[in-house]
Amino acid sequence: MDDPARLRIAFPCQHESCPHTAAIVEVSRRGQLYVDDDQDIIFRVFPDAQGTIRITGFLPYTNFSSQVTDFTATIQAASAIDAAALHAIDQSWVPFYCPRCDRSFCAEHWQLTPRFNWAFDHYSGTCPIGHPHVINHC
């Protein structure tokens, strides 16, 4: 399979016939010319990182980048739009995915409340079916 240096994939909401995107997942191989501040920090903190994964377009406060240690597995899971496979690699990567439903949902369908402890701390709430969900990766 083709192993691109950078991949940007929209994960659709899987709630009934919802037309929205749950989130955008972007996987970048280390060594890209374009490196943003988040990625720069990741590569300094994790010298062995093969790349980064970035989630955008879900909820406020959930735009974040993480290090990728297995670039091939990550790019394959993302290009297959397989949130379960990404969740299996790292549970924190797909905050828009409910493992008990095995579905991704957009922000509109989650019942999530941001909790603050001086600054944003975490989200807690449930998926549309009622499974408890906490998003905490700061």
Which residues contribute to the site for Zn ion (CB under 5 A)? 13, 15, 18, 20, 98, 100-101, 106, 109, 127, 129, 131
The one-letter code for the residue type at 7 is L
| For Zn ion, the closer CB: 50 or 104 | 104
| For Zn ion, the closer CB: 68 or 135 | 135
Q: How far is the CB of 88 from Zn ion (least distance, A)?
A: 17
Rounded CA separation 20/53 (Å): 21
Q: How far is the CB of 124 from Zn ion (least distance, A)?
A: 14
| For Zn ion, the closer CB: 54 or 109 | 109
- Residues 6+ positions from 96 with CB-CB distance below 8 Å: 11, 22, 23, 55, 58, 83, 104, 105, 106, 107, 110
Strand partners, 134: 124
Q: How far is the CB of 133 from Zn ion (least distance, A)?
A: 7
Rounded CA separation 53/3 (Å): 15
| For Zn ion, the closer CB: 71 or 97 | 97
132-135 and 51-56 strand pairing: unpaired
Q: How far is the CB of 48 from Zn ion (least distance, A)?
A: 34
